[in-house]
Amino acid sequence: MNNPDAFESIVGALEYPMLVATTVAGDARSGCLVGFATQCSIHPPRYLVCVSDKNHTYRTLEAGARAIAVHVVPESAADLVELFGGETGDDEDKFARCAWSPGPDGLPVLDDCPSWFAGRIVDRVVLGDHVGFALEPFDGRAGYDGLAFPFSRAKGIRPGHEA
Ligand SMILES: Cc1cc2nc3c(=O)[nH]c(=O)nc-3n(C[C@H](O)[C@H](O)[C@H](O)COP(=O)(O)O)c2cc1C
């Protein structure tokens, strides 16, 4: 690439919402902060969530998870951003440090995120050091109409896991 600094500079300045993706496989629960995510189809509805292949969450996804819960992080929920972005499930159980409830398919649903949807994993694509999981939404709740926690406020956090 001729000017990699330009790319880094541009993507570092873009604004986008912070999400927490949670999943379950058997007794194992995982979740991490995600910025690389977007709706990618209208008909049928599809959402793409990209997870680093180093993350604890990725290993749970690969251990037989069938679905992901995607949570909109409210702009007031800095503690969730720190917990799910700055800590890794390799070292601790994040779900012991936050309020959550069992949701559809046993997915952990975060009590402090009133807007979330559950999506079945219908495709998986290796995209580099992140793997894209294409989701077919099948349940959820739209309980929050405020702003999502922005990337500009989260990018100073040191990720719990190397990407
Ligand atoms: C601002 C920000 C954005 C992030 N975006 C992603 C992302 O899109 N995908 C991802 O896999 N990790 C992302 N991370 C990193 C993980 O959230 C972080 O490494 C987390 O501690 C991994 O947890 P785990 O090992 O329990 O899965 C991001 C972290 C921060 C601070």
Q: Which domains does the chain have, with CATH numbers?
A: 17-154 (2.30.110.10)
**What are the DSSP calls for 108-133, one per residue?**
EEETT--EEEEEEEEEEEE-SSEEEE
Taking only the tens place, the pLDDT of each residue in 33-69 is: 999 999 999 999 999 999 999 999 999 999 999 999 9
pTM over 0.85: yes
Ligand 1 center to residue 51 CA distance, Å? Answer: 8
pLDDT tens, 121-143? 999 999 999 999 999 999 999 99
Instruction: Give Cβ neighbours of residue 102 (< 8 Å, ≥ 6 apart).
Output: 108, 109
- All residues at 6 or more sequence positions from 25 whose CB lies less than 8 Å from its CB, including other chains: 60, 61, 63, 64, 65
Task: Output the furthest CA–CA distance in the chain (Å, rounded).
Answer: 49
List pocket residues of ligand 1, CB cut-off 6 Å.
Answer: 30, 32-36, 50-52, 55-57, 84-85, 87-90, 130, 151, 154-155, 157, 159-161
Are 144 and 111 a contacting pair, CB within 8 Å? no
Write out the two tokens for 92.
């601790």
User: What number is the average pLDDT over the span 100-119?
Assistant: 98
Residue 60 CA: which ligand 1 atom is closest?
27
Ligand 1, atom 16: nearest CA belongs to which residue? Answer: 85
Element housing 34 (H / E) = strand 28-34
